[in-house]
Amino acid sequence: MGIHEAWFVVIAFLFLGYFVLEGFDFGVGMLMPILGRGAGSEKRRRVVLNTIGPVWDGNEVWLITALGALFAAFPEWYATLLSGFYLPFLVLIVSLILRVCAIEYRGKIDDPVWRARCDAGIGIGSWIPAVLWGVVLANLIRGVAVDSDKQVTGGLLDLFSPYALLGGLTTALLFALHGAVFIALKTADEVRVDAGKLAVSLAVPAVVVTGAWALWTQLAYGKGWTWIALGLVLAALAIALPLARAGREGWAFGATAAAVASLVVLVFGSMFPNVLPSTIDSAFDLTIHNASSSAYTLRIMSWAALFTAPVVIGYQAWTYWVFRQRISMAHIPPPIGLRTR
Amino acid sequence: MDALDVSRWQFGITTVYHFIFVPLTIGLAPLIAVMQTLWVITKKDHWYRLTKFFGKLFLINFALGVATGIVQEFQFGMNWSEYSRFVGDVFGAPLALEGLVAFFLESTFLGLWIFGWGRLPKLVHLATIWLVAIGVNASAYFIIAANSFMQHPVGARFNPETGRAELTSIWELLTNNTALAAFPHAVAGAFLTSGTFVAGVAGWWMVRNVRRGEIDLARTMFRPAARIGMLVIVIAGLGLVYTGDVQGKLMFEQQPMKMASAESLCHSGTDPAFSVLTIGTHNNCDSVTHLIEVPGVLSWLAEGKFSGVELKGVVDLQKEYNEKFGPGDYRPNLFVTYWSFRTMIGLSAGSGLLALVGLWMTRGRRVVHQRWFGWLSLLAIPTPFLANSAGWVFTEMGRQPWVVAPNPTGVDQIRLMVSQGVSDHPTSTVVISLVTFTVIYAGLGAVWFGLIRRYVIAGPLEHDAHPPGDDESDADSDAPSQLSFAY
């Protein structure tokens, strides 16, 4: 394997980490209003939100680092992708901004209106990226109108083909399911029960839609070996359902994480060795070779990644271990935000 | 306005906005770590209360720092794709390193610090905030190394086949003399900001407590906090002067146009006088009337001696660049460079005044009761923020029209005009993002200010009066104890 291939794998791995970890963060944000209904709704919402309390910020850094690594290793890919998908990324950034502030500021003021606004921010900041990432991934595989100057021509609507929209629905459903299983794993009492039920009811549509999109991807763009990734996506989702129903949340979470990871492998595997194919002429395709940095930069970045990544993974895993305890309503302290005047 | 101007405004607005919150984060994390360390060592509750009090303010600020930082990681590719193509091989490396080394560290360990009260052993918990403090400063180093490449490109070659700059030495890039001067300058500015913030808030609370008759609280809690802040101001201030001087001398050598325009020095000459105040149409250099001038200062700033210094003026540099790089306007906006330089230096006096007055008035075991001191404390707080912004505006607008300024002793082809770096977007597209970011930022800025103000006025809160009892309450799920913190 050459260094270009290796860096394609590194980029894929960083996005894999991002989608596996932020997938359930988005799911938690998406399902918080649904699971937070009924008696004691405020406490229930806080139980749900606090399942990701100490870790969501670190999870989000996977995206920032993936983008930095993309810039360093494949500057042409970075430049073409971000300038070509301008408005989707603008919407994505705005929703991420809202989510950061809404999560951090929610408990700062003890007032129902304030909390409702923050909940809206968390909802928007979770639903929109969950859909948009699927759209972006679909277009990465399908290709866009890249011209001879590596500029993306063509309108905004080109990015929202049926294939891309199905991709968006896939990631949204998959992340919702992943989040539901995660909440069930991290909570005790009735929130756990409700999250388990929600996971079971989400599992069937998630399997159907993900299966459809993954099969479409495989048939239209896949390679021989990506059938394995496709098989793993479906197998993982299929065993997640009985595991969730049986209350085996740890295993069920492992299964949904494996499904997300396999889907990312399928996506990047189908793309390879292109990184952004051109729908105008395959001579204009961005590939791992014509979009990459020089050999020296790739080598330096390889050493940096080799030394830092294991440390990062180590302390992030330790953080999950520290906060492994299940959260119940009884754990939630009274609100300590300042009162409204 | 075309897409270029809109893109410049957008990058300017978003980075200036980001850098409102960044210095407070960079400077406050170590100060909170010091407060918590003092609590762990002395076991005195008021250090714990101060840690929690400033910790809350830190977190309110950190959130917006993160939120506005996300934008930057996308923006190079979105609006400056041609620039990203040209320098990505070089510029991407420090950005990726920043993510790997610094962002992961600060975000992960901040989560552990926020939620780890009463769950982690005391010393491990203390280590988490120190790691956050290291992380935020490390990130500053990497991003400033990246920026310094744009000011003074080193460690790269020009590949004529691809038409791109290519990295030849990561070591040279990370030890760029511009980066080694800019990083301590920015960090000193950040410490000045946080020192002023802590001294201002604690100073105001000291006066308030004394006037309420709670002199003990003022003496045990707010007086030491204010004095720590003031001490930080003094040290950071000296650091700023020194690093600023080093940086200025580098600029005279490496970016002469920036310094000539900062001094509104039109024509080359020996020992030109330093200008303090001018009037006139700045962007027509010769119309400027110098009202107050000090001889000798400029020569000293440039080369460290008072006479015999030859300095180039804007008009002559413009001629020189025309010959070297072809026809074009190579002058920055002279009005902005001249006044941002003076604003940066002038506003730092706000912190200095608070520190000197405050240290004198709290000498011995004195606490301050004068109302005007409370006002001085509050009024000093915004000054370093404005000085930081002015300094970055000077640095960035002083390198116009370049996005990668040519290095006089480097590779000549590694240079790029801002107009060549911008993405090829319709103006309307960029206007949409400019308006969106500006509106969202204005709204969030108002929320941030409102929260900071309310939490400062509320003061150290009752529920933070005492540290959590024992650290071994973990893992007893039979009798759930409440979390020490939950969103």
Q: Which domain CATH number covers A131?
A: 1.20.1630
DSSP state of B475: T
Q: Is the pLDDT of residue B187 over 90?
A: yes
Of A175, A321, A201, A172, which Cα lies nearest the Cα of A256?
A: A175
Residue that wins the pLDDT comparison between B142 and B300: B142
Q: What is the pLDDT of residues B41-69, one digit of tens each?
A: 999 999 999 999 999 999 999 999 999 99
Beta partners for B402? B417
> Is B68 in Cβ contact with A322 (below 8 Å)?
no
> Is A308 in Cβ contact with B167 (below 8 Å)?
no
In a domain, A187, yes or no: yes
In a domain, A340, yes or no: no
Q: According to DSSP H, which parts of B155-218 are helical? A: 170-174, 177-211, 215-217
pLDDT for the residue numbered B469? 58
Give the range of the structural domain holding residue A285, as residue numbers without chain letter.
Answer: 3-304
> Cβ contacts (< 8 Å) between A73 and chain B: which residues?
92, 96
CA distance A64 to chain B (A): 6
Does A273 sit behind a cis peptide bond, omega within 30 degrees of 0 on the bond before it?
Answer: yes
Q: What is the pLDDT of residues A302-325, one digit of tens each?
A: 999 999 999 999 999 999 999 999
In a domain, A312, yes or no: no
Q: Is the pLDDT of residue B472 over 50?
A: no
> Cβ contacts (< 8 Å) between A312 and chain B: which residues?
100, 104-105, 108
pLDDT for the residue numbered A159? 84
> Is A294 in Cβ contact with B166 (below 8 Å)?
yes
Q: What is the pLDDT of residues B62-81, one digit of tens each?
A: 999 999 999 999 999 999 99
- Greatest pairwise CA separation for chain A in angstroms: 65
Quote the tokens at residue A137: 């991934």
> Is B66 in Cβ contact with A57 (below 8 Å)?
yes
Question: Which residue in A87, A96, A101 is closest to B63 by CB distance?
Answer: A101
In a domain, A322, yes or no: no
Number of domains in chain A: 1
Q: What is the mean pLDDT of residues A269-297?
A: 90
**Residue B70 touches partner A, C-beta closer than 8 Å:** yes
Q: What is the pLDDT of residues A120-139, one digit of tens each?
A: 999 999 999 999 999 999 99
> Is A188 in Cβ contact with B88 (below 8 Å)?
no
CA distance B194 to chain A (A): 21
Q: Is the pLDDT of residue B480 over 70?
A: no
Question: Which residue in A75, A108, A336 is closest to B85 by CB distance?
Answer: A75
Q: Is the pLDDT of residue B478 over 70?
A: no
Taking the CA atoms of residue B158, residue B161, residue B164 and residue B170 in that order, the dihedral angle to the nearest 10 degrees is -50
Chain B residue with minimal CA distance to A300? Answer: B170
Rounded Cα gap, residues B206 and B203, in angstroms: 5
Phi/psi at A36 (nearest 5 deg)? Answer: -95, 20
Complex ipTM more than 0.90, yes or no:
yes
Neighbours of A281 (CB within 10 A): 11
> Cβ contacts (< 8 Å) between B433 and chain A: which residues?
86, 90
pLDDT for the residue numbered B477? 45
| Secondary structure string (H, E, C) spanning chain A | CCHHHHHHHHHHHHHHHHHHHHHHHHHHHHHHHHHCCCCCHHHHHHHHHHCCCCCHHHHHHHHHHHHHHHHHHCHHHHHHHHHHCHHHHHHHHHHHHHHHHHHHHHHHEECHHHHHHHHHHHHHHHHHHHHHHHHHHHHHHHCECECCCCCECCCHHHHCCHHHHHHHHHHHHHHHHHHHHHHHHHECHHHHHHHHHHHHHHHHHHHHHHHHHHHHHHHHHCCCCHHHHHHHHHHHHHHHHHHHHCCCHHHHHHHHHHHHHHHHHHHHHHHCCEEECECCCHHHCEECCCCCCCHHHHHHHHHHHHHHHHHHHHHHHHHHHHCCCCECHHHCCCCCCEECC
Question: Which residue in A78, A151, A338 is closest to B424 by CB distance?
Answer: A151
> Cβ contacts (< 8 Å) between B423 and chain A: which residues?
83, 86
CA distance A117 to chain B (A): 12
> Cβ contacts (< 8 Å) between B76 and chain A: which residues?
71, 78, 82
Chain B residue with minimal CA distance to A71? Answer: B92
Average pLDDT in chain A = 93
> Is B482 in Cβ contact with A332 (below 8 Å)?
yes
Of B218, B264, B157, B438, which Cα lies nearest the Cα of A297?
A: B157
Question: Which residue in B63, B114, B482 is closest to A333 by CB distance?
Answer: B482
Q: Are strands A286-287 and A274-276 parallel, antiparallel or unpaired?
A: antiparallel
Q: Is the pLDDT of residue A229 over 80?
A: yes
**Residue B356 touches partner A, C-beta closer than 8 Å:** no
Q: Is the pLDDT of residue B471 over 60?
A: no
Please, which residues have CB within 8 angstroms of residue A190's CB and are 6 or more apart in sequence? A44, A329
In a domain, A95, yes or no: yes
Q: A266 near A214, Cβ under 8 Å?
A: yes
Q: Is the pLDDT of residue A103 over 70?
A: yes
Q: What is the pLDDT of residues B393-425, one digit of tens each?
A: 999 999 989 999 999 998 889 999 999 999 999
> Is B67 in Cβ contact with A72 (below 8 Å)?
no
Q: Are strands A338-339 and A109-110 parallel, antiparallel or unpaired?
A: parallel
Q: What is the pLDDT of residues B284-308, one digit of tens each?
A: 677 677 777 777 777 878 887 777 7
Rounded Cα gap, residues B310 and B315, in angstroms: 15
> Is A54 in Cβ contact with B116 (below 8 Å)?
yes
* pLDDT over 90 percentage in chain B: 72
Mean pLDDT comparison of A284-288, B90-94, B330-334, highest-scoring range: B90-94
Average pLDDT in chain B = 90
Q: Is the pLDDT of residue B384 over 90?
A: yes
> Cβ contacts (< 8 Å) between A325 and chain B: which residues?
474-475, 477
In a domain, A319, yes or no: no
In a domain, A65, yes or no: yes
> Cβ contacts (< 8 Å) between B73 and chain A: which residues?
64, 67-68
Rounded Cα gap, residues B93 and A78, in angstroms: 13
Q: What is the mean pLDDT of residues B142-171?
A: 94
CA distance A262 to chain B (A): 24
Of A107, A105, A104, A99, which Cα lies nearest the Cα of A123?
A: A99
Chains A and B form CB pairs within 8 A to the count of 251
In a domain, A22, yes or no: yes
Neighbours of A9 (CB within 10 A): 15
| Secondary structure string (H, E, C) spanning B75-131 | HHHHHCHHHHHHHHHHHHHHHHHHHHHHHHHHHHHHHHHHHCCCCCCHHHHHHHHHH
CA distance A102 to chain B (A): 9
pLDDT for the residue numbered B370? 92
> Is B85 in Cβ contact with A58 (below 8 Å)?
no
